[in-house]
Chain A
Amino acid sequence: MQQRTPIEEQIDLPFVESLRISFQSLKIRFGRSIITTAGITLGIAFLVSVWMNNEIGIALQESGRQTTINTFEETAEQGISTKDIWLIIMSLIVCVVGIANSMLMAVTERFREIGTMKCLGALDGFVVRLFLLESGFQGFSGALIGALIGTLGAVLLGLKDYGLDLFFYFPLLPASPEDGPMQLGVIVIILLGCILGMILAVIGSSFPAWRAAKLPPAEAMRTEV
Chain B
Amino acid sequence: MADIVVKTEDVVKEYRMGSNILRALDGINIEIERGEYISLMGPSGSGKSTLFNMIGALDRPTEGQVYIDGQNMSQLSQKQIAAFRCHRVGYIFQSYNLLHVRSAHGNVTLPMIFAGISEKQRNEKAEKLLDMVGLGDRMYHLPDELSGGQRQRVAIARALANDPSIILADEPTANLDTITGREIIDLIKRLNSEQGVTVISATHDLKMLDVSDRIVDIRDGLVERIRNRDEIDIEVGEVGGEGE
Cα A117 to Cα B91 with chains together (Å): 11
The answer on a CB contact under 8 Å between B91 and A119 is: yes
Q: Judge whether B111 is part of the interface by a CB distance below 8 angstroms.
A: yes
Report B-chain residues with C-beta under 8 Å of the C-beta of A28. 101-102
Given contacts A117-B99, A121-B86, 13 further A-B contacts (CB under 8 A): A1-B4, A2-B1, A5-B69, A6-B71, A8-B87, A11-B83, A29-B101, A118-B82, A121-B85, A121-B162, A123-B78, A216-B58, A217-B58
Cα A147 to Cα B17 with chains together (Å): 46
The answer on a CB contact under 8 Å between A120 and B110 is: yes
The answer on a CB contact under 8 Å between B82 and A122 is: yes
What are some 9 contacts across the A-B interface (CB < 8 A)?
Answer: A7-B71, A7-B84, A11-B116, A17-B113, A29-B101, A117-B110, A118-B82, A216-B53, A218-B53
Q: Which chain A residue shows the least CB distance to B80?
A: A7
A102-135 vs B, Cβ < 8 Å mask (1 yes, 0 no): 0000000000110111111111101000000000
Q: A1-B7, A4-B69 are in contact. Are A121 and B115 (CB under 8 A)?
A: yes
Report B-chain residues with C-beta under 8 Å of the C-beta of A112. 97
The answer on a CB contact under 8 Å between B114 and A121 is: yes
Cα A7 to Cα B111 with chains together (Å): 17
Q: Judge whether A9 is part of the interface by a CB distance below 8 angstroms.
A: yes
Report A-chain residues with C-beta under 8 Å of the C-beta of B111. 120-121
The answer on a CB contact under 8 Å between B82 and A10 is: yes
Q: Which chain A residue shows the least CB distance to B87?
A: A121
B49-67 vs A, Cβ < 8 Å mask (1 yes, 0 no): 0000100101110000001
Task: Tally the A-B contacts, defined by beta carbons under 8 Å.
Answer: 102
The answer on a CB contact under 8 Å between B114 and A218 is: no
Cα A78 to Cα B208 with chains together (Å): 83
Report A-chain residues with C-beta under 8 Å of the C-beta of B82. 10, 118, 121-123
Q: Judge whether A221 is part of the interface by a CB distance below 8 angstroms.
A: yes
Report B-chain residues with C-beta under 8 Å of the C-beta of A116. 97-99
Q: How extensive is the interface on chain B, given as a class?
A: 35 or more
Residue numbers of B with Cβ under 8 A of A are 1, 3-4, 7, 53, 56, 58-60, 67, 69-71, 76-80, 82-88, 91, 93, 97-99, 101-102, 110-111, 113-116, 158, 162
CB distance from A214 to the nearest CB of B (A): 10
Q: Judge whether A219 is part of the interface by a CB distance below 8 angstroms.
A: yes
Report A-chain residues with C-beta under 8 Å of the C-beta of B101. 24-25, 28-29
Report A-chain residues with C-beta under 8 Å of the C-beta of B162. 121
Q: A21-B113, A121-B85 are in contact. Are A8 and B99 (CB under 8 A)?
A: no
Name the contact of A13 in the complex, choosing from B78, B98, B114 (C-beta under 8 A): B114
The answer on a CB contact under 8 Å between A10 and B113 is: no
Q: Which chain A residue shows the least CB distance to B158?
A: A120
Q: Judge whether A3 is part of the interface by a CB distance below 8 angstroms.
A: yes
The answer on a CB contact under 8 Å between A10 and B86 is: yes
Question: Which of A3, A10, A218, A221 neighbours the largest number of chain B CB atoms within 10 Å of its CB?
Answer: A10
Q: Which 8 A-B pairs have the closest CB atoms?
A: A121-B86, A10-B82, A4-B69, A121-B114, A10-B83, A218-B58, A218-B59, A9-B79
| Complex interface residues of chain A between 197 and 225 (CB less than 8 A to chain B) | 216-219, 221
Cα A124 to Cα B79 with chains together (Å): 9
Q: Which chain A residue shows the least CB distance to B53?
A: A218
The answer on a CB contact under 8 Å between B80 and A216 is: no
Q: Which chain A residue shows the least CB distance to B100?
A: A113
CB distance from A220 to the nearest CB of B (A): 9
Cα A218 to Cα B56 with chains together (Å): 10
CB distance from A45 to the nearest CB of B (A): 28
| Complex interface residues of chain A between 1 and 43 (CB less than 8 A to chain B) | 1-11, 13, 17, 21, 24-25, 28-29
Report A-chain residues with C-beta under 8 Å of the C-beta of B53. 216, 218
The answer on a CB contact under 8 Å between B99 and A118 is: no
